[in-house]
Chain A
Amino acid sequence: MRPFTYERADGLAELARRALQTGQGQVDAEVQFLAGGTSLIDLMKLDVLRPRSLVDITPLAAEHGTVELRPDGLRIGALASMASVAVHPGVVEQYPAIAESLRLAASAQLRNMATIGGNLLQRTRCPYFRDPSWTACNKRLPGSGCAALDGINRNHAVLGVDTSCIAQYPGDLGVVLAALDAQVELAGPRGARRVPFSTLHRPPGGQPHVETTLLPGELITEVAVPAGAWTRRSLYLKIRDRASYEFAIASAAVALDLDGETVRSVRLGIGGMAYRPWRAAEAEAALTGKPLTEANAEAAAEIALRDAVTNGHNAYKPELGRRTLVRALLQARAM
């Protein structure tokens, strides 16, 4: 690991003073915020991230680490641990997909350490990104190419990719938040602002080393999930290579509001195969107002994956994605 200085931030104002050097969305940022450290310290040991300075933001947890259930929605402090949100009774009861996505992620130790904000900003598990001995990685070395395109790409993305990067977003919670129309509250040198979660992660756009739309110095302070008739009947289905402690090879978030058999409203997220947290809006539209039959679910899944781009080893993903989505829809119907 390369040398760095370590500082503790006791408040947002103090953070703002140091802020312009940071850039959470940039892989090569010289200053990085440290929260749970489960992604950051790992990538520093691998020499993928090389910050000169770490600013420990865990003291902010007292102010930005709580869970609040309001009539208009759920507020989760960005410094809350994954473990604490996963067992929060209100989240379990009213937003079960959120609790489930957290419970099925990582291990008990990692969930104790990792924060909600850090979880949303976790970096890809692409082995070519994580190993600097590979010279071609546009995410690590802008303009160097993408070794995964012709490489071992069994668990690379098929949705939202371009030829600059096919890395997969590995998170689970983000898939649910994309489906549930969440917003994120940001704090930074120019004050606070609130943006749709769906705009936080950037498409590769030829610049995959810029991963988010966070401005220099900005960090997530809160996640806001709007209330809706669909949140109680929601679930997260995760398909993986081993039964536990593994990233998804396919996943689906479904939130459903039914009028008898008819879909009044449905929210769909797809994980384990997309470049960023993915919402299947066209598939939602195709289901709305129709009875939730297996045939209609299959038709919607067809729409959700029709733009998938495969690169060899990941050719199985579109079919697995369709089946995962159909199964998740039928399970939500039975809730």
Chain B
Amino acid sequence: MSGTLNRREVLSGSVLGVAAAGLGGAALGAAGPDAVAATPAAAAQGSPARAEIVLRVNGRDRLLAIDPRTTLLDALREHMALTGSKKGCDHGQCGACTVHVDGRRVLSCLTLAVAVQGKAVTTIEGLSAGDRLHPMQQAFIAHDAFQCGYCTPGQIMSAVACVHEGHAGSPAEIREYMSGNLCRCAAYPNIVAAIEDARNQMERS
């Protein structure tokens, strides 16, 4: 891929040379004055006073200066360059934005970022241990549990919680407790198979 732009680099702004100034967020203590910079787009809307908040995402504290209207999903994607969580419907109907807050699966599109201060947020980027994939990620690959992949981060975050909740006992139970995650490619049979497989591995370890 060297010499070409991949989609993630374009989305994260890292190839545009504006990473620090344009993203409005950075790891605490690592980025100097740009850490609380406003996004140009939001500033142009004449928005009210910004809230300075600390978000704990994937074990790291991040200082952000954001408009109170910013959802957790937009904070992750637009301010912290964590584009794994996806924006599907933006109205809590599709599940593509599913993340964990204090270990429970929630919809980041209906969660205000200012409301999750002091809580631990885990996104798809925080699921693997370095290069070692989470058993659920591995199972989705092994079972070909996606086609386009857009809903997959939400499916995986939801599936991990589904197993932890003890609601992955049978295919029927998995279907019921995963019903908040829609897949327009209809990879459902393979998703159910992947979750059963990962459940067995998670229970063994």
Contacts and interface: CB of A to CB of B under 8 A. Distances in A.
B and A form one assembly:
yes
Interface stretch (B1-9, B25-33, B132-140, B159-167): B159-167
A244 B176 contact: yes
Nearest to A3: B48
Contact of B104 (A112, A244, A245): A112
Contacts of A37: 110-112, 115
Contacts, number: 80
A34 B110 contact: no
A1 B158 CA distance: 27
B114 A109 contact: no
A88 interface: no
Interface in A41-69: 41-42, 45-46, 54, 56, 58
Contacts of B178: 108
A133 interface: no
Interface string B90-111: 1110010010000011110011
Contact of A41 (B51, B71, B162): B71
A112 B167 CA distance: 14
Given A6-B68, A107-B95, A245 B111 contact: no
Contacts of A110: 92, 107, 180
A309 interface: no
Nearest to B117: A8
Contacts of B175: 244
A199 interface: no
B112 A108 contact: no
A76 to B, nearest CB: 19
Interface of B: 47-49, 51, 67-69, 71, 90-92, 95, 98, 104-107, 110-112, 114-115, 158, 161-162, 165, 167, 175-181
